Structure 1
Amino acid sequence: MGENADLASFLETLAAWIDDADGWYGNAGRSLPADGDWSFFARALRAATSYEQGTQAPMAASNLCQCR
């Protein structure tokens, strides 16, 4: 997986992961937080560092922090 080299790429990737977050939560057997929370924000930031856009698949649960 590549990393985002600049702020614009990071922000675009962050937005893409947030759009696909319901898929990550579903694959992890969790419910997407209705109002978001700090663990959602932490996951989104972590995922945006290496999320591959265009794959339509958020990073596997094992690759993200297990924030509660």
Structure 2
Amino acid sequence: MTEIQEKALTKVSAKREHEGTDPNGNPFNGLWVVRDADGNFIEFTQWSNDIINRYSEAKGFALTINE
């Protein structure tokens, strides 16, 4: 991938979060939470493979996964 292509990708990160709540006030309790480069909440899910499928480079994302 060239530098120009990499800059066009939207940077997101995912990690298991044990503290905090979703926008509806439900606790994360170890779910995978996706955030943008500024740390803003995007979504959450139980399965990391769902995140990998939704946020692949082919779909324009640069995904970082942290345990």
Structure 1 length normalisation: TM-score? 0.24
Q: Which has more strand, going by share of residues?
A: 2
| RCO comparison, higher one (Cα < 8 Å, 6+) | 1
Structure with greater Cα Rg: 2
Structure 2 length normalisation: TM-score? 0.25
Q: Which has more helix, going by share of residues?
A: 1
